[in-house]
Amino acid sequence: MTNTGRIFAITALYWIISNTYAITVVESTYWKCTVSDAENRQWPGQADYQVSAINRALENCKRESKVPKTCKAAKEACEMIVNGVTTRPMWRCLALDQAAVPWFSNIYDHGDDAAMAAKAYCQANSTLPETCYVYLFNCRNLNIRNF
């Protein structure tokens, strides 16, 4: 084998090995929680268990905040991550007016909140605000996962 052939073989082998490691998927499950203070600054915490993630986020907040006594934690500010994908519900609803113009809500944790937001958005922006309506079957959880 010539030197050119050896260099090509080594380069090809290096490329294959480096790309194999680059596509390795790490399967993991963990909790990610966020704690905030009175200045609305946020600190994340991550752990295998929800309470541990909250405690880590609280520790970070109390250590780094300018007003550590105002650090607040809530379970609602936590989400479970399974294989890199959040399990938090992500509801979005569609409101329509009489002209059949679609008005989508932002994403919410609860379907009722998304429905009210879609209707309010329609009423605030439609040329026919009194005709805005939402059917709950027009609401979808965008984060349906089969675990």
The predicted pLDDT at position 22 comes to 45
For the purposes of burial, counting CB atoms within 10 Å of the CB of 44, is it exposed (0-12), middle (13-18) or buried (19 or more)?
middle
The predicted pLDDT at position 9 comes to 56
Report CA-CA distances (Å) from 74 to 18, 39, 84, 85: 42, 17, 22, 21
The predicted pLDDT at position 86 comes to 83
Q: Which of 12-21, 26-35, 85-94 shows the highest mean pLDDT?
A: 85-94
The predicted pLDDT at position 23 comes to 43
More confident position, 47 or 21: 47
Token match 């194999």: residue? 20
64, 43 contact by CB (below 8 A): yes
121's tokens: 């958005």
Q: Is the pLDDT of residue 28 over 90?
A: no
Residue 144: count of CB within 10 angstroms of its CB:
8
Q: Which of 21-25, 61-65, 75-79 shows the highest mean pLDDT?
A: 61-65
143, 89 contact by CB (below 8 A): yes
The predicted pLDDT at position 27 comes to 56
Kindly report the pTM of this predicted structure. Answer: 0.56
Query: pLDDT confidence of 146, banded at 50, 70, 90?
Result: low
Mean of all residue pLDDT scores within the chain: 85
